[in-house]
Amino acid sequence: MKKTGNILTIAKKEYREALRNKILWLFAGITWLLIIFAAFAGWQRQEGIHIQKQKATALFRHEWEEQEANPHSAAHFGTYLFKPSSVLEVYDHGLNSYLGNTYRVEAHVQHEVNHSEAEHADTNLRFGELSVATVFQLLLPLMILLLSFSSITREREGNTLKILMIQGGRPARLVWGKLLGIYAIVLTVVVPALLLLSTPLMAADIQPDSLLRFTLFSLTYLVYFFVFTVIGICISAISRSSNTALATSLGIWVLLAVLLPRATIRWIDSAYPLPSRYEFNRTMSQAYQQGMNKDGTSSERWKKFMQETLKKYGVDTVTKLPVNFDGLAMQMGEDYNSKVYDRFAGQVEQLIKKQQTRLEQWSILNPFQAMQQLSMGMAGSDYFHHLYFHHQAKSYRDEFVRTLNLDLANSGSAYLSYNYTVGPDFFKRMKDFTYQPPSLKEVIRFHQWSLFSITFWCGLSILLFIPLAIRLIKI
Amino acid sequence: MTNALEAAQLAKNYNNHIALHPLELQIPPGQIFCLLGQNGAGKTTTINLFLGFIEPSSGQALINGVNVAKNTDITRQAVAYIPEVVHLYGNLTGVENLDFFNRLAGFRFSPKELKAFLLKAGLQEEAHEKKLGGYSKGMRQKVGIAIALAKNASVILMDEPTSGLDPKATLEFNAICRELSDQGKTILMATHDIFNATSLGHRIGIMRDGHLKHIVDASGITAEGLQQLYFESIG
């Protein structure tokens, strides 16, 4: 009874003291300003992109439907697909500024998702983008450390630590009381910000799991902040003076937020190097031209396909075929190209996934890296969501081109004649692209190591850091 | 009658350094005992041993007959501590500071009672609701005294409480100490102030290099006599 009473007494004192501290309000003010600024800038940017995408999608669809063209010319004309952005992306741009958001649908060519914002947002990215996630991941831990580094050293330097002990305080009660008090301050600053950020999610036309994603997003950040509160207090407990505690805290921040992430990425880059774009393209075009697994060169494949088709229909020349052979042959080429792409892009994809797994595994050492992954995972701006979009866009594309080629094949038009055209009636019937985002379960599975890391650090904080600080506290 | 404070062959070594040679000291209830000596003579070590912040290498520190090292929780209930610098919490008022330390010790008082303790410790009423950050050192000492009063500590350990106080504040501080002594509280005070020691203390001890060299009755010695003895002892 007295024990918990003491913890609460200390926590309340800490809280009351901090609320009267001008520095806290300065910190809180800066944090709120940055969050509001980042959120508004994010919303504006999102709104702009959303409108652009909508306009472009509508325009392309309109052009598509209104054309009067040969199906294969239409396939060349193609269309564009845009990666839909989630509401939460506003708070964490993740990789989206660097990865593309536009997918070109075109005959004969398997495109990547291109046109990243980084290509035309020079100043913005050169100075680092400000997002809610940056504020949460970098700035708040720093402020939490600045709030807690002197929490116990100050008591020691002011001789109150001894009086506390004489009055019945114990190291354990002191450390837990400080933790409770300072974490309450952190919540006082962060919770209103999170509530503000949740308001756009109350809109009706939102992806159904957005609220759930935002809840998880918020909860993991709260655990992340808890870990830093524990680190700050424990450093204060075992440091001789406030100066040492400050230096140690800043050192740890630099290590976790600046040095370790860069070191990890350098290591992963050299351990799993990716082929250059040039190499990749050359390998792909060679594989298509020369053929894979003794499939023969592209002209050999063409000849073989023609003979098979002639045999199938029991005729001796292509002009006697009941179908337009051109459409079938082009689809054969498409199928082969898709196979080549799946193989080589698949290899690169596996490599990137391996990099990603290593990155997530290394995050066990660093809650910052784990938080980065989880945050963009929840926001839908990570590599997993990118891949998810790319796969869906690619299957849409393959189906799209197939529809056009087969229409040409079954059109009754003569081989190598290009006067056959179709109009809006046909083009209107072609389905629009609809993106199905991954389920939360899949996202969590992809980031399981990071989720484990955050849980691990929380456990470490409670089961190791705090008991250690209580043992080693200098009275 | 049990001594309020007793050191029985109480000693403390740090590695090869002897901070306190076996010390024999008995202080009966109600007595004010002043410890003189230069920095590093062992005064603070002695006080920390009675407070239970360090463990004796040998011997015992006893408060009201209870061994401090073995029953720190019990002995601390009877003790109040006033360090040289009492910063307390600058963002909290005098009343809030006192309330906080009382609650830690398990006591809850009404604001009226808290103010009564502050008044009794000599802190003027206008200051009670003001933040401690604006207090003078003497005023902060008084909050320290109020903490001791509210706890009803029978033993008060003070480490150079009057250093840095102006003469008037020292005089007030001494008056409160005498009052506490009259009520039967025992005070062990480490100090550098020879004149103050003779005017306030009942007995005076002089320490040097971890030894208690002399114990004199304040009634039997003048300030000048004590000063001479002090310089001879530390010579």
Helix (H, G, I), strand (E, B) or coil at A327: helix
Give dist(CA B218, CA B201) in Å, integer.
6
Closest CA–CA distance from residue B192 to any residue of chain A (Å): 19
Per-residue pLDDT tens digits for A409-446: 988 888 888 888 888 889 988 899 999 999 999 999 99
- Of the candidates A379, A388, A430, A389, the one whose C-alpha atom is nearest the C-alpha of residue A407 is A430
Instruction: Report the DSSP beta bridge partners of residue A13.
Output: none
- pLDDT value of residue A127: 57
Nearest alpha carbon to residue A213 among A441, A49, A456, A455: A441
Token duo for residue A89: 């992306």
The mean per-residue pLDDT over the stretch A115-137 comes to: 75
| Cβ–Cβ contact B175 with A under 8 A | no
> φ and ψ at A129, to 5 degrees?
-80, 145
Residues of chain A contacting B79 with CB distance shorter than 8 Å: 166
Please give the helix or strand (H or E) that residue A398 lies within, else none: helix A383-409
- Between A99 and A232, whose confidence is greater? A232
Amino acid of residue A355: Q
A201 closest CA partner among A39, A311, A1: A39
Q: Which residues of A touch B91 (CB under 8 A)?
A: 16-17, 20-21
Is residue B47 within 8 Å of residue B159, measured between CB atoms?
Answer: yes
Assess whether pLDDT exceeds 80 at residue A116: no
Contact A6 B104 (CB under 8 A): yes
Predicted complex ipTM exceeds 0.85: yes
**A437 and A207 Cβ atoms separated by less than 8 Å:** yes
Per the listing, tokens 């003790």 go with B79
Which residue ranges in chain B fall short of pLDDT 70? Answer: none
> What residue ranges do the domains of chain A occupy?
2-37+130-271+454-472
Going from N- to C-terminal start, the domains of chain B cover 88-152
Output DSSP code: residue B84.
S
Contacts of B81 in chain A (CB under 8 A): 162-163, 166
Say if CB B151 and CB B102 are below 8 A apart: yes
CB A233 within 8 A of CB A225: no
Q: Is A9 within 8 Å of B77 when comparing Cβ atoms?
A: no
Which of A124-138, A223-237, A449-463 is least confident? Answer: A124-138
- How deeply is A352 buried, as exposed, middle or buried, from its count of CB atoms within 10 A (0-12, 13-18, 19+)? middle
Helix (H, G, I), strand (E, B) or coil at B163: coil
Phi–psi pair at A67, nearest 5 degrees: -80, 155
B208 by DSSP, 3-state: which?
strand
Q: For residue A44, how many other CB atoms are within 10 A of its CB?
A: 11
Smallest Cβ–Cβ distance between A166 and the set B79, B86, B92 belongs to B79
Polymer length of chain A = 475
Distance from CA of A243 to the nearest CA of B (A): 18
pLDDT at B32: 97
Distance CA A223, CA A229 (A): 10
Q: In what order do the strands lie in the sheet with B32-37?
A: B79-82, B155-159, B186-190, B32-37, B203-208, B211-217
- Provide the pLDDT for residue A297: 92
Cβ–Cβ of B104/A17 closer than 8 Å? no
Pull the structure tokens for residue A275.
Answer: 């082929």
Chain A neighbors of B85, CB-CB under 8 A: 158-159
| pLDDT of B114 | 97
